[in-house]
């Protein structure tokens, strides 16, 4: 699929599956409440399950969330890359993405980062799977979503040995999930 067609689809509130640093992800325009609701429906999960905001650079998160010192420092150190940083929302405009703060990441996957740059605004993502099932790494396993999403960008089989992103809450200074970026690396960068 042509990247511009994918950009047009996302801009028209379509649901897409794209690669991430680890597994395939289900994504849509962050500003589309209806598309976000459809992602939760596809995954058979609660509408208040938090989603991660993907941005192409830190300036895209500034209108949405409060970037504290630790969030900026970690983003400058590890982005683009596999760390999702939770910050406070600036307003209720994006509260449908998460009931408590918002996680953001500048993806290490060059295709996805370029896609967001072309869009000029954030997208949301979550692992491509039904809630409770294992994430999808194998391109052939995406067939289960062909009738549920609008577009699938097939990028071949992804490396299933790569851990999902580290999740760090910059408000409480806690690591909620350790992934490729370790607690040691985080603590060292925050000194």
- The CATH number for 19's domain is 3.90.870.10
CB 50 within 8 A of CB 103: yes
Strands 52-54 and 102-105: parallel
Tell me the sheet residues that pair with 152. Answer: 17
What the block records as the tokens of 132 is: 């409770």
pTM score of the predicted model: 0.94
> CB pairs under 8 A, 24+ apart, for 72-75?
73/189, 73/190, 74/168, 74/170, 74/186, 74/189, 74/190, 75/106
Print the domain residue range for 22. Answer: 3-190
Non-local CB neighbours of 8 within 8 Å, separated by 6+ positions: none
What's residue 1's pLDDT?
62
Chain segment 69-114, per-residue pLDDT in tens:
999 999 999 999 999 999 999 877 888 888 789 999 999 999 999 9
Query: Based on the structure, what is the number of domains in the chain?
Result: 1
């Amino acid at each position: 699929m042509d990247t511009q067609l994918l950009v047009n689809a996302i801009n028209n509130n379509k649901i897409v599956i794209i690669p991430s640093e680890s597994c395939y992800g289900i994504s849509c325009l962050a500003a589309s409440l209806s598309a976000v609701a459809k992602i939760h429906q596809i995954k058979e999960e609660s509408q208040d399950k938090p989603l991660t905001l993907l941005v192409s650079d830190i300036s895209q998160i500034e209108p949405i969330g409060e970037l504290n010192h630790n969030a900026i420092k970690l983003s400058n150190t590890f982005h683009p890359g596999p760390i999702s940083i939770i910050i406070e929302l600036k307003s209720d405009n994006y509260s449908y993405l998460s009931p408590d703060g918002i996680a953001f990441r500048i993806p290490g996957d060059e295709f996805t980062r370029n896609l967001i740059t072309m869009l000029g605004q954030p997208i949301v993502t979550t692992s491509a799977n039904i809630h409770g099932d294992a994430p999808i790494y194998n391109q052939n396993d995406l067939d289960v979503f062909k009738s549920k999403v609008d577009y699938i960008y097939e990028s071949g089989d992804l490396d299933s040995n790569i851990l999902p992103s580290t999740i760090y809450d910059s408000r409480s200074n806690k690591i909620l999930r350790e992934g490729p970026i370790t607690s040691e690396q985080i603590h060292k960068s925050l000194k």
